[in-house]
Structure 1
Amino acid sequence: MKNEDQPHVCNPFKDVPKCGARSKRTGQPCQQPAMANGRCRLHGGKSTGPPKGNKNALKHGHYTKKAIADRRYVRQLIKDSKELFDGV
């Protein structure tokens, strides 16, 4: 019986591009199947975070541009008022 006839020997990933990231310990390339970015899910990262403009990732709004600008404005007002009172 040849290997092609034995289902337990058949490897469906043999023709798939491999990750290729090298191991520090052994120096051998990773043999996991690569994703679209050329690396496997362990070495290439499955996600780079939420897409830009994704409102589902916004939890509290503390770091929105408007909130940051408001805090800067209030800090400047406090600084100006301290200078004004120190001059009196």
Structure 2
Amino acid sequence: MLPHFMLAGLTEAFSAVALMEFLTVKMPEHMRAVAGAIFFLSSSIASYICTLLINVIDSVTRKEGRSWLGDKDLNKNRLSNIFSQ
């Protein structure tokens, strides 16, 4: 999973830098702060939607009181248990 996360992180970093560069260069002077705020606001909204989606999927797919994300006991939460199901 490490290569996947590294690639996803690099993609996010490069796209965020490119978008911020576009917003600071192409926007009018008085709109630059607003454009940056909208960028970070959209990023935070996407994070909240992702969290909501994971919680909904977890509540729908819960079997016998067990979650696919694991229990609150950290000894039972192993990555091999999540991907073997």
TM-score, normalization by structure 2: 0.31
Q: Which has the higher contact order (CA 8 A, sep 6+)?
A: 1
More helix by share: 2
